Amino acid sequence: MPNQLLRYGVLLTGLAALAGGQTDNTRFEMANLRQDVALLNQRVGELTMAVEQLSRDNNALQAKAGQSYATIEQLNRAVADINRTMQAALADQKREVLQQVAGQIERLGKQTNAALDALAKNQATRPVVQTSFSDDFPKEGINYTVVSGDTLSGIAKKTGAKLADIRNANKIADDTKIRVGQTLFIPQGK
């Protein structure tokens, strides 16, 4: 393209020389044509430089692109490595959680055993529960309804009855087993 423009410029120059004897208007037009050809030559030179720069940039990008692509095999290996790392981390975390749970279960077991031992010792020191009852108590008496805060010994004091008579009359084996609202026969006299 630059060669064609140069040829047009030469042609125009030749035409101008031939037309040397023509009017001023023609000379003016020829001068304008020369100026246009010169501007076109300059513009073609600029475009040629821009194309060369784009070509260099394109080559650089192609070289870079060839270096930055990963193969499917490389991606598969990377994914497999990440999976192995995650599985190992999960296994470690699972092991830690199981160790913590085992430790907590062991502590709870010790606490439970200690509580059972204390309960067993407490049962051993309790007085023997009476399981046989005598009919040797007064057959006359009053009915008493247990209220909150009552104990068998407190009821005996309130009513003036003997504790053993109240136990025998109501067949109470364990003094702590009376309940609110329960009606007891309280033997009187003797």
At 119 the pLDDT is: 83
In whole angstroms, give the CA distance from residue 13 to residue 20: 11
Alpha helix ranges (H) inside the chain: 2-18, 24-68, 72-125, 152-159, 163-170
Contact 174, 124 (CB under 8 A): no
At 79 the pLDDT is: 94
At 18 the pLDDT is: 55
At 129 the pLDDT is: 58
- Residue 57's SS3 state is helix
**Residue 144 is inside which H or E element, if any?**
strand 141-145
At 31 the pLDDT is: 84
At 128 the pLDDT is: 60
At 143 the pLDDT is: 94
Q: What is the residue-level pLDDT of the chain in tens, covering all 190 positions?
A: 556 655 666 565 665 555 555 577 888 888 888 898 889 999 999 999 999 999 999 988 887 776 666 788 889 999 999 999 999 999 999 999 999 999 999 999 999 998 888 888 876 665 665 578 888 889 899 999 999 999 999 999 999 999 999 999 999 988 888 999 999 999 986 5
At 161 the pLDDT is: 93
Contact 187, 166 (CB under 8 A): yes
